[in-house]
Structure 1
C-alpha cells in the first residue's frame, strides 16, 4: 500500500494514522458517537489489514424472500445454503471459500461457525480460477424477526470487503433496506453491487424499466454510479455477469482497501460537518506574553508597590543621612510616612495581595486574543485551558511576590557611615561652641594648661571652623540626599524588574503552558483533519 495514491490523495495508511490522531485528540471536542465510530473503524481496519490480503470477503445481503440463499448456491455451484418456503431460511451465516490457504483467521475474525464453512474442492474449481481468493458469505435476512435481536447481518455488512445487495422485483424499493443501508452508501459504489434477483418473473420490457427505476432511486439516495446486475437463480440469467463483477474485485485484491477508504470517506464527511476546525496560532507570541505579565502586575499592584518603596526609602533615609539639626526640628512635625497609607497597601508587613477579578480579566483577555479564528468548541476548550488554574493564580502570585517584598527597615551600610560622619561634625560644632564660650567668659583666668582656649586671637578662627563645619554638614546632607534619591530609583527598578520576572514565571506555568498545550492540540487536530481529507 502506497502512502499517496496516483491522484495525489493520501493513501489508506496515512489516513488511518490521521484518524488515530483525531481519536486521540477528540475527547471533549468531538461528538461521542462519532468518536466511538472512529475508534471502531480504526480497530476494524487494523484487524482487516493484518489478515489475508489474498482473500476478498463478498457478502450477499438482502431481505426476506429476495432469493439470497438461492443466489448464493448458484454462484458457488453447490447446494450449501438451505432454501425453501420457510422464512427466514438462513439462520446463520454460511461461507464458501475459493482457496483455503490463509482464510481460516479471516473467517475466525468474521465469526463464521466452522460447520457453516465450505470450500470449493479443486475438482469443482475447474474454470473458476478467476474466483480464487473469494470468501462468499450468505448473510441472515436483515429484516427477519430474528434479526431484531441478532445483529449478525449488520455486523457482517460492516465487515465485508464488498456487499452484494440482493433485491427482488416486489420489494426493491423497500424502505427497511433503503433507509437503514442504502442512504449510507454514498462513496461506496466501488464496493457495493445491487443484484436485481428473480428477473425470470419479468418480461424484458418490465426488467429494463425496473432497472432504470432502481438506478434512478439509488442515484437520488446518493449512490452516484450504482452497479445493478439483473439475476435469476432459477434460469441462470445474470449469474455469469455477477460472477464477473465479483471476480474483477477478487482479481484486483483492492476491495478491502476500497471498502476501508469508502468508510473513511463517509466518516470524514460527518467529521467535517459536525466538528469543523478553524485557524489558531502555533503558540502564545511574545507580545501577548508581555501583555499578560503587565496585566497581572497591575492586578498584584507591582507599580504601586515600587512607588511606595521608593517613597519610603527616600523618607526613611532622612533619619540617617540628613543634617541632624533639621531632623531634630522635624520631630515636632507630623510623620510623612503616615500620609502614604502604607497599611492599606500592606507593604509594611510584607503582604502582597492579587485582585482575583483583575487576574481573571487578564487571563480572559489572553484567551480572547487567541481564539478569533477557532470554532466554538475549540474556543471554549482554550478558554477552559486558560482558566484551568485561575483559581490558584492569585494565591500563587501572592506567595511568589512575598518572597521579594522589600525590607523597609533595611539600612545600607553607607547610611550608618554617613550618620557617624554627621555626628562627628555635630561634635566638632559643639566643641567650637565650648571654645567660644570659654574664651569669651573665662579669658585670662584659665589655667595655663587651658590657656589656648582663652586666646582671643584664636577665637575668630574657631568661628570660621564652626561655620565650615555647618557648611560641610549641610553640603554632605544635600549630596547624601541626592545619592539616596538615585539609590531609591535604582532600588525601585530592581524590585519591579524582579517582581515582573516572577510574575512572568507564574503566568508561564499556570496560564501560558496550559493554553499552548490546547493550541498544540487544536493544530494537531486540524492537521489530522487535513490528512484525513487530503
Structure 2
C-alpha cells in the first residue's frame, strides 16, 4: 500500500481567490469566454464551500459499473447503506454516510443529497471510529452507466468533493474513459485523490503486486506525480482499514476542502498562464510619448506652417505701417510676388484649419505600437482599440480648437501707430528742408522780403545738413522698426505655436491618452492579479 501524500499546504487561498476575482473582472474581452466561465464557476464554488462546515470533509467514492464501489462504501461505513446489484451491479443515486451529523445539513443540501439518502452513524456504532468524525462519505452513481449519459450527478459531485477515491477493478483499472475523462483532468490533485484497487481477493499476491506497480506507472504518466494506491477487497475486508486510515488522515487535518480548492486553482492558473502569458507594458503613458504624440499631431495639422505663415503675414502687414514711406512708395512701382498669397489677410475662418486624417492615425498608431510592444495577444489588440476608440474625432476637434486661436491680423499695435506718425513727421521735415534748399538756391531773387531768410547763403548749408540728418534719421528709424517687427513677429509666432500646441496636447490627452491609460491600468492590474495567483 502507498500512503497518502501530504503536499505542502499553500498559504493565502483568500488572496489567491481575490486575485482570480480580479482576473475575471478585468479579463472580459481579453480571455477566452470558456476560461472566464470556468474561473467564475470556481469562485462561486469556493465561496459556497468555504461558507459551509469546515468540520466536515466530503469524500466521494467514484468508479465505473462493476468496480465494487457500493460494496466498498458499505464496508467502510460498516452498514448496508448502498444497494448492490447482483446481475448488473449499478448505483443510480448518490448515498451519503455522515460521521457527526451536527452542522452537516447545509453542506449536504449544497451537495444535493436527498434526505432519504442520508445516513448518520449512531454513537453506538461509532465506537472506535472517532477518527472519522466529520466524514461525509458519498457513494456516487456509476460514471459509465447508461443513465450517466443523461445525468451529470457523478461529474458534478466529483467536481466539488473535497477528496475523491477512485475505485478501480482489476479488469478495467486502465479503462481509457476513466483515465481520459477524469484522472488526466485531475492531474495535480495528488493530495486530494486516492485510488482504491478493489476486488484484490480475485488476484494472486504476485498478480496484485504487478497490478499495483503497473497502475502507479500509468498514473505517473498521466500527471499524478505521487499517486496514492490502496489495494482493497470488500469481500475479505483486506485494505479497508488502510483506506479508512488514509481517509481519516484527510478528515483529521480538516484541510481537504482547502487543498481541493488550491489544486483546482493551480490547474486553472496553468490554463490562464497559457492563454494569457504575463506581458510587459508601462503602467501609464510616459512624458516622452506624450510629447512625441503632440509633436506628430502638430505636424499633421501643420502648426509649424501656420506659425511661419503668421510670422510672414505679421511682417508684411507691419511694413504698411512702420516701413520708411519713401521706400514703401518706391516699392509700390515694382511687381510684388507675394501679393498673390495675400498674407496680409491671414485670418482663418472657423473650421478652415484641418488635420490630415492619415497622419493623425499614423501618430496614434505609432504611440500605441510603442506602448504595446511587450503585451501579448488580446491585450495588444485591446490597447490598439483603446488608442483608436476616439481618434476618429481628432481631425475635426483639432481643426475646431486651432481655428479659435488662428491669428486675426487686422489688429494694429499702438507702437505701430506712434512710429507711423513719427515717420510722417520726418517725411514732412525732409520735404520742408528740401523745399527750402531748392527755393534758396534757385529763386533767391524772387523771394519777398519777409522770406528773404530762405535765400541766406550762410543758413543754406545748415539747412542741407539738417535735411540730410532728417533723411538719415528716417532710414535709421526704418531699420530699427524692421528689427522690432522681426522680433515682434517671432514673438507672435511663438505665442501662436505655444497656444496651438497647448490645445493639441489637451485634445490628445482627452481623445487618445486617457483611454490608453485606462487600458494600461487595466493591464497592470490584470498582470498583478496573475502574479497573485
TM score, norm. by length of structure 2: 0.91
Cα separation, 2, equivalents of 1:137 and 1:346: 89
Once the two structures are overlaid, the 10-residue window that deviates more, 479-488 or 454-463, is 454-463
Once the two structures are overlaid, the 10-residue window that deviates more, 433-442 or 283-292, is 433-442
1:248-271 deviation line (CA, Å, top 9, x unaligned)? 100000100110111111111222
Which residue is 1:392 aligned to? Answer: 393
Which residue is 2:455 aligned to? Answer: 456
Contact map agreement 2:348 2:406 (CA 8 A) in 1 = no
- Output aligned runs, 1:273-312, within 5 Å: 273-312=274-313
Cα separation, 1, equivalents of 2:34 and 2:369: 30
Which residue is 2:403 aligned to? Answer: 402
1:196-226 deviation line (CA, Å, top 9, x unaligned)? 1222222222222222221111111111111
Once the two structures are overlaid, the 10-residue window that deviates more, 363-372 or 221-230, is 363-372
Contact map agreement 2:347 2:408 (CA 8 A) in 1 = no
Cα separation, 2, equivalents of 1:505 and 1:94: 69
Contact map agreement 1:443 1:454 (CA 8 A) in 2 = no
1:385-405 deviation line (CA, Å, top 9, x unaligned)? 222222112222212222221
Cα separation, 2, equivalents of 1:91 and 1:188: 26
Partner SS state of residue 392, structure 1: helix
Partner SS state of residue 248, structure 1: helix
Cα separation, 2, equivalents of 1:86 and 1:523: 61
TM score, norm. by length of structure 1: 0.91
Deviation at 1:459, TM superposition (A): 5.6
Which residue is 1:3 aligned to? Answer: none
Partner SS state of residue 236, structure 1: coil
Which residue is 2:3 aligned to? Answer: none
Partner SS state of residue 397, structure 1: helix
Cα separation, 1, equivalents of 2:347 and 2:82: 91
1:59-90 deviation line (CA, Å, top 9, x unaligned)? 11111121212221221122222222365643
Which residue is 1:137 aligned to? Answer: 138
Deviation at 1:437, TM superposition (A): 7.0
Is 2:249 the counterpart of 1:248? yes
- Output aligned runs, 1:461-480, within 5 Å: 462-480=463-481
Which residue is 2:376 aligned to? Answer: 375
Q: CA 1:431–1:191 in structure 2 vs 1: closer, same or farther (change >3 Å)?
A: same
Deviation at 1:527, TM superposition (A): 2.1
Contact map agreement 1:93 1:116 (CA 8 A) in 2 = yes
Partner SS state of residue 407, structure 2: coil
1:14-63 deviation line (CA, Å, top 9, x unaligned)? 22122122212212221221111111111111111111111101111111
Partner SS state of residue 164, structure 2: strand
Which residue is 1:426 aligned to? Answer: 427
Q: CA 1:58–1:387 in structure 2 vs 1: closer, same or farther (change >3 Å)?
A: same
Which residue is 2:172 aligned to? Answer: 171
Cα separation, 2, equivalents of 1:514 and 1:8: 42
- Output aligned runs, 1:411-450, within 5 Å: 411-432=412-433, 446=448
Cα separation, 2, equivalents of 1:348 and 1:24: 49
Contact map agreement 2:22 2:526 (CA 8 A) in 1 = yes
Q: CA 1:88–1:346 in structure 2 vs 1: closer, same or farther (change >3 Å)?
A: farther
Q: CA 1:192–1:453 in structure 2 vs 1: closer, same or farther (change >3 Å)?
A: farther
Q: CA 1:342–1:29 in structure 2 vs 1: closer, same or farther (change >3 Å)?
A: farther
Cα separation, 2, equivalents of 1:253 and 1:9: 14
Q: CA 1:432–1:9 in structure 2 vs 1: closer, same or farther (change >3 Å)?
A: farther
Q: CA 1:529–1:348 in structure 2 vs 1: closer, same or farther (change >3 Å)?
A: closer
1:352-398 deviation line (CA, Å, top 9, x unaligned)? 21111111221222222223322233222222222222211222221
Cα separation, 2, equivalents of 1:241 and 1:349: 93
Q: CA 1:148–1:234 in structure 2 vs 1: closer, same or farther (change >3 Å)?
A: same
Is 2:141 the counterpart of 1:112? no
Which residue is 1:188 aligned to? Answer: 189
Partner SS state of residue 391, structure 1: helix
Cα separation, 2, equivalents of 1:443 and 1:14: 116
Is 2:268 the counterpart of 1:267? yes
Deviation at 1:323, TM superposition (A): 1.4
Which residue is 1:513 aligned to? Answer: 514
Cα separation, 2, equivalents of 1:230 and 1:196: 5
Which residue is 1:13 aligned to? Answer: 14
Cα separation, 2, equivalents of 1:38 and 1:137: 26
Q: CA 1:347–1:178 in structure 2 vs 1: closer, same or farther (change >3 Å)?
A: farther
Q: CA 1:84–1:7 in structure 2 vs 1: closer, same or farther (change >3 Å)?
A: closer
Which residue is 1:125 aligned to? Answer: 126
Which residue is 1:158 aligned to? Answer: 159
Cα separation, 2, equivalents of 1:373 and 1:61: 46
Contact map agreement 2:97 2:137 (CA 8 A) in 1 = yes
Which residue is 1:228 aligned to? Answer: 229
For structure 2, the 5+ residue unaligned runs are 1-6
Alignment size in residue pairs: 523
Q: CA 1:379–1:206 in structure 2 vs 1: closer, same or farther (change >3 Å)?
A: same
For structure 1, the 5+ residue unaligned runs are 1-5
Q: CA 1:385–1:453 in structure 2 vs 1: closer, same or farther (change >3 Å)?
A: farther
Cα separation, 2, equivalents of 1:506 and 1:104: 62
Deviation at 1:301, TM superposition (A): 0.9
Once the two structures are overlaid, the 10-residue window that deviates more, 244-253 or 13-22, is 13-22
Cα separation, 2, equivalents of 1:211 and 1:9: 30
Once the two structures are overlaid, the 10-residue window that deviates more, 88-97 or 461-470, is 461-470
Cα separation, 2, equivalents of 1:336 and 1:417: 29
Cα separation, 1, equivalents of 2:246 and 2:391: 63
Once the two structures are overlaid, the 10-residue window that deviates more, 329-338 or 136-145, is 329-338
Contact map agreement 1:215 1:226 (CA 8 A) in 2 = yes
Cα separation, 1, equivalents of 2:501 and 2:52: 61
Which residue is 1:321 aligned to? Answer: 322
Once the two structures are overlaid, the 10-residue window that deviates more, 376-385 or 238-247, is 376-385
